[in-house]
Structure 1
Amino acid sequence: MNLIRYLLMAILLFSGFALPAQTITVMSYNIHHGADKDEKDQLAAMGAFIKTSGADIVGLQEVDSVCTRSNGVDQMKELGRITGMYYAFVRHYAYQGGAYGMGILSRYPIAQVDNKRMSLLKGKTPSTAMISAVISLPKKKWIRFASAHFALDDSSRMVQAHEAVNYLATDRYPVILTGDLNATPGAPEIQYLESYFTETDAKQIMTYPAPVASKKIDYIWVRKKNLISVKQHKVPVTDASDHLPVIATIKIK
């Protein structure tokens, strides 16, 4: 009887210290300034897709804010209106009377939005940004959600991978990193990220170009110590953008 009592006490003690878990669905989507590969406006279609996708948090790349080429639309505000989600935007740089940059959509409140500047070693384009925010989940739980758009040249991408890790690896909150990294699996910068993060896609599904993709450059990552399991990873086929969206349902500590 004493042994049984001790076992029961041990079980209760262990369960009392068990870490709480949260299951969320996240998306990474390069929206190509709201246009398809033929430059036809698809922002409304993208918003409708996101709304019905089941995603709780979305990292968006190539977002326009009141630019001439996208008819002066504040795209994050419009996507927020269509989806009914909270939204945030940070700029890469000024462009065509407005700004070109990154966005986050979330079913949950967004706080502490940060425009983390990322280095570019080649080209005349100004430095780019990684958007980061703290998301307030139910039951007083918080996560750090970030979305990046890495450079086209491999030397800049490696520097940017180091910058992302330096910024996110020691964050006090669980960390999710999404984005168009412009690098295929096996590239040195991807291998470096894999030292700190776990990718949600075990099958290495192609993401670019849409709708018939031939390479994988879009990712969802979770910091290793925060991930419990990946319940689902999928890449829906749509031609609204020149990239396919990436969606993962994950269970995190």
Structure 2
Amino acid sequence: MHEARLPRTLEAAAVLLFLLQSVRVLFSVLFGVIYDTIFEEVIPLTAAGGILLAVILAFLTPLAAVRRRERGASLLLTTASIAALARIPVTINQPTIRLWSSIVVIGAAGLYLSTLARHHPRRLAPALILALAADQFLRTAGDTFDLALRPWWLPVQTALAVGVIIAGRRAQQGGGLGTGGGSPQDHPSGWIEGLAVGSLLFLETSLLDFPNGVARWSGTGYEVVAPLLMAVTLLPLIEPVRRGALRLFRGALGGLLLLVLGLVGLAAGRWVGGWIGLAGLLLGQYLLLVSLFRSGRAPTPGGLALGFLLFLVLNFAFAFTFTYPYTIPAFRGMGQPVLLVAGLIALLPALRSTRPETLRPAATWSPLSLLPAALTLLLTLAFAWPRPVAYRESGPLHVGTYNMHYGYNTTWRLTLEEIARTIEESGADVVMLQEVDACRITSYGVDNGLWLARRLGMHVVFQPTLENLSGIALLTRFPIVTADGALLTSELEQTGIVHARLRVGDEEVDAYGIWLGLKPEERARQLTDALAFIGDRSPALLGGDFNSTPDSPVYARLVGAGFVDPFVALGVDPAPTSPAIEPRNRIDFVWGRGLHPLDASVPDSLASDHRMVITEWDLP
């Protein structure tokens, strides 16, 4: 029995890691499917409905968990093997392949999780924490872009699948049919625990397991957050620390205190912000994970299925806080309340009585078990450490603007590397970016601006416009003197303007990035705000997606404000920029004031759904 615990825990951690990765992939692909169904109308409603039905069925597989222990052991091995094998094609960067393979992984992992909770309840919490830590590690190692979703990872993923199957066989042969201490009847279950697991998965996959998300949400530095978040995530696995926390929060009053402190921490993350907000989020993460061990109860299959459905509902509700102009306007600014509702449900098991066995010391714990955690922390610190910037000290300035479509091309294939190469090949020293996500499950949880900055050896200035996790950004190789930004008046989707004062030789140049709304009256108000924000600063650069053509009032007002269109000034034929495939409209511009235009062009890259604009300017 005891020799089966380690392989069973490793098998469970791997399956849960595959679940976390596949959920992220699924929602990223679904984002494109829903967009193309509703807005582009290129996917029939019946096809989209069939996909959503398959998704719902995949999340209901916990209901199929079996009661008999002998069948449970076989089912664990079977579902773990299916999840591991189906996870291999998830690595392939093709939306259709990723969609269906991730659905299979989720279905198999859901049934595995339900069976594990019934027959090995003590393995559930440590396996989930190991999976969360591994997921954090892989994303931090990739500068927020999961290494396990890169093309070169395919043979590694294949080896991992083989390893999971071997671990499952060893666990089965080792007699791992019990709970790792007592029979399943000794470990009561409850449906509230199932809802809590679903809410916890939502919180982790939307924010708390993402150092970039926690950093943006609280307004703190990624390089500081990453190692701290990893440490807090691993802490509940250290038996003396966990036991001390459980003793502190034992009893009805202790459980209530745990719940209240967890919610206060989650609320402080956004509403207080800064280092206090970061401390609150770290406290919330720790208490959420500790609460997994507190009651000693496992989720029932029905409760877990309800929890998975709740996970779907919470994800759609959180998505509406970003897409409110096109879905439900009442969800504007509701990101924090959605997270607090999820936090409340996730912490409800803390109100149950503490089971005595959760407070007993583990006979096998050794300080040597801290070594893997210490090594993980050191590597996380190294991966998160700021990258050197290849500074450019003098002009001329090569300035571009790029609507990067959250890292996707027109067909919703993830193209971050192609976008980076487009910028790299353009020779741009300053790039204004639009449609920049910093941590959304619908764009793989990547911090687009941070990843591009590290990939290209540049600085990034991010201006959040939606829930602190989506907005616009400015990349630069020039030293930054000051940086700021502002929100623009928006009745529809919130937009903004980002600013960095750059040192170019002995001069200073103000660079601005902007994204204007979809309706003329909205753009008029926003341009008024933007011109007031810019003032009479000169020399100045202004680039972005203006959603306005050269015959528009926006264009005329910019000319009237003293800005120069380099294409017109140089007599260069201005190529259209949108859409990227067979472009028809020129709506992306780089304007200059107090600078001499030297060149302007539109590269033919199809990495995004817009084309990049690249210009060259000399100081006066």
Per the TM alignment, residue 51 of structure 1 is displaced from its structure 2 partner at its CA by 1.8
Verify the 8 A CA contact 1:31 1:241 in the aligned structure 2: yes
Verify the 8 A CA contact 2:503 2:509 in the aligned structure 1: yes
Kindly indicate whether residue 524 of structure 2 is the aligned counterpart of residue 151 of structure 1: no
User: Separation in 2 of the partners of 1:181 and 1:201?
Assistant: 16
Letter in 2 for 1:205: A
User: Separation in 2 of the partners of 1:201 and 1:69?
Assistant: 36
The alignment's C-alpha RMSD in Å is: 1.5
User: Separation in 2 of the partners of 1:109 and 1:40?
Assistant: 34
> Alignment partner of 2:503: what SS?
strand
User: Separation in 1 of the partners of 2:480 and 2:446?
Assistant: 22
Kindly indicate whether residue 426 of structure 2 is the aligned counterpart of residue 60 of structure 1: no
Per the TM alignment, residue 66 of structure 1 is displaced from its structure 2 partner at its CA by 1.2
User: Separation in 1 of the partners of 2:455 and 2:599?
Assistant: 25
Q: Residues 41-87 of structure 1: CA distance to partner in whole angstroms, max 9, x if unpaired? A: 11111112212221111100000001111111111111011111111
Deviates more, 1:23-32 or 1:105-114: 105-114
Letter in 1 for 2:544: G
User: Separation in 2 of the partners of 1:148 and 1:218?
Assistant: 10
Show the counterpart of 2:417: 44
Aligned length: 222
User: Separation in 2 of the partners of 1:22 and 1:100?
Assistant: 31
Higher helix share: 2
User: Separation in 1 of the partners of 2:406 and 2:450?
Assistant: 13
Letter in 2 for 1:188: P
Q: Residues 190-245 of structure 1: CA distance to partner in whole angstroms, max 9, x if unpaired? A: 1111112111122332000003200100001012xx023x2111001111100000
Q: Residues 155-186 of structure 1: CA distance to partner in whole angstroms, max 9, x if unpaired? A: 01111222222221312x41100000001111
Verify the 8 A CA contact 1:208 1:244 in the aligned structure 2: yes
Out of 194, 199, 213, the residue aligned to residue 559 of structure 2 is 194
1:8-47 maps to which residues of 2 (within 5 A)? 22-47=395-420
Q: Residues 18-61 of structure 1: CA distance to partner in whole angstroms, max 9, x if unpaired? A: xxx94211000000001001111111111122122211111000
Kindly indicate whether residue 498 of structure 2 is the aligned counterpart of residue 131 of structure 1: yes
- Select the structure of larger CA radius of gyration: 2
TM-score (norm 2): 0.35
Show the counterpart of 2:608: 241
Out of 240, 250, 253, the residue aligned to residue 617 of structure 2 is 250
Question: Which ranges of structure 1 fall in alignment gaps of 5 or more residues?
Answer: 1-20
User: Separation in 1 of the partners of 2:512 and 2:598?
Assistant: 20
User: Separation in 2 of the partners of 1:99 and 1:201?
Assistant: 34
Deviates more, 1:158-167 or 1:214-223: 158-167
User: Separation in 1 of the partners of 2:413 and 2:480?
Assistant: 31
Kindly indicate whether residue 591 of structure 2 is the aligned counterpart of residue 227 of structure 1: no
Verify the 8 A CA contact 2:461 2:473 in the aligned structure 1: yes
User: Separation in 2 of the partners of 1:199 and 1:169?
Assistant: 18
User: Separation in 2 of the partners of 1:75 and 1:174?
Assistant: 28
- Answer 1 or 2: higher relative contact order, Cα 8 Å, separation at least 6: 1
User: Separation in 2 of the partners of 1:168 and 1:42?
Assistant: 33
Letter in 1 for 2:598: K
User: Separation in 1 of the partners of 2:474 and 2:557?
Assistant: 25
User: Separation in 2 of the partners of 1:212 and 1:145?
Assistant: 30
User: Separation in 2 of the partners of 1:52 and 1:188?
Assistant: 33
Per the TM alignment, residue 108 of structure 1 is displaced from its structure 2 partner at its CA by 1.3
User: Separation in 1 of the partners of 2:447 and 2:617?
Assistant: 31
> Alignment partner of 2:533: what SS?
helix
TM-score (norm 1): 0.83
Show the counterpart of 2:508: 142
Verify the 8 A CA contact 1:231 1:251 in the aligned structure 2: yes
User: Separation in 2 of the partners of 1:141 and 1:79?
Assistant: 26
Percentage identity across aligned positions?
Answer: 29
Verify the 8 A CA contact 1:211 1:242 in the aligned structure 2: yes
Deviant stretches of 4+, over 4 Å: none
